[in-house]
Amino acid sequence: MRWSIINFGTAILASLPTVFAADSAVWQDSETGFTFSQYAAAYAIGKSLTFRIAVPSTATSSAAYDAVLQISAPLEVGWTGLAWGGTMVTNPLTVAWANGNSAVATVRWATGHVTPNIYSGAQIQVLRTGTHTNGTHWQVTLKCTGCTSFTGSSGKVTILNPNGANRLAFAYSRTKPSNPSSSSSSFGVHEVTNYWSHDFSSAGNANFAALVTKNS
Ligand code: HEM
């Protein structure tokens, strides 16, 4: 067989490393000790919110697992939220905002494009280390139990893939919630939403539980 240009091209493609399609990158957080997979979500030209996710390295797609979420937001951000299923409706929405030098977080659930309700299927623990405000940003670090798996309206159980990419979405509002010190506060609609592909396979932490304890 003659070595054609097509064979040559195929051979070159086959020798290239597999290119991963996720939009996120690895971030080693020296403050908390977690290894996060992070994504900078643009909410305005030249401005972004950073969403960082850490999971136990033992997590599998067959059982629910906890996740640590860290959000870093410019001070002008009134509230922001992460939609774990990549849409507004029928998945856990972890919403957070600054409260003085600390931050408050809550999990909500929307059945339509209307104000979401408090979701009792997930629990949040805000971690003391990694939650603060400085001259430019507020940041929250939290553990969520119940965010990475959920049951949709048809009864279908979704468990986010801890060894691959998951489609996530965010929402941003410049307006603070009406009662920032309360996790059950109401808040208004967002100005911006978008979604991305987040690599969980690089978010694994062998010492996940010990780091949660250390940072609590
Ligand atoms: C007061 C609370 C909220 C109201 C009234 C509201 C309302 C809406 C409306 C009307 C849309 C459709 C916009 C369009 O089609 O142009 C929408 C889309 C969206 N919202 Fe919300 N929303 C609220 C809270 C949230 C929260 C907390 C999140 C996530 C944390 C979120 C995530 C999204 C996303 C990702 C979309 C894009 C379309 C979709 O995935 O369904 N929303 N929202």
Tens place of pLDDT per residue across the chain (216 aa)? 344 444 444 444 444 444 446 798 999 999 999 999 999 999 999 999 999 999 999 999 999 999 999 999 999 999 999 999 999 999 999 999 999 999 999 999 999 999 999 999 999 999 999 999 999 999 999 999 999 999 998 999 999 999 999 999 999 999 999 999 999 999 999 999 999 999 999 999 999 999 999 999
Amino acid at 120: S
Which pLDDT belongs to residue 13? 41
The pLDDT of residue 21: 61
The DSSP call for residue 89 is: B
Ligand 1, pocket-test mutation among 190, 196, 198, most atoms within 8 A of CB: 190
Q: What is the pLDDT of residue 10?
A: 43
Ligand 1 centroid to Cα of residue 158, in Å, is 20
In ligand 1, the atom with minimum distance to the C-alpha of 194 is 35
**Cα 40 from Cα 111, distance rounded (Å):** 27
Domains of the chain: 26-215 (2.60.40.1210)
The answer, yes or no, to whether any atom of ligand 1 lies below 6 A from the CB of 188, is yes
User: Edge-to-edge strands of the sheet including 102-109?
Assistant: 117-118, 102-109, 93-99, 79-83, 165-173, 192-199
What pLDDT was estimated at residue 14? 42
Q: What is the pLDDT of residue 15?
A: 42
* Ligand 1 site, residue 93, Cβ cutoff 6 A: yes
Residue closest by Cα to atom 30 of ligand 1: 81
Q: Which residue, among 60, 81, 73, 69, has the nearest Cα to 171 in the 3D structure?
A: 81
Q: Which atom of ligand 1 is nearest to the CA of 108?
A: 27
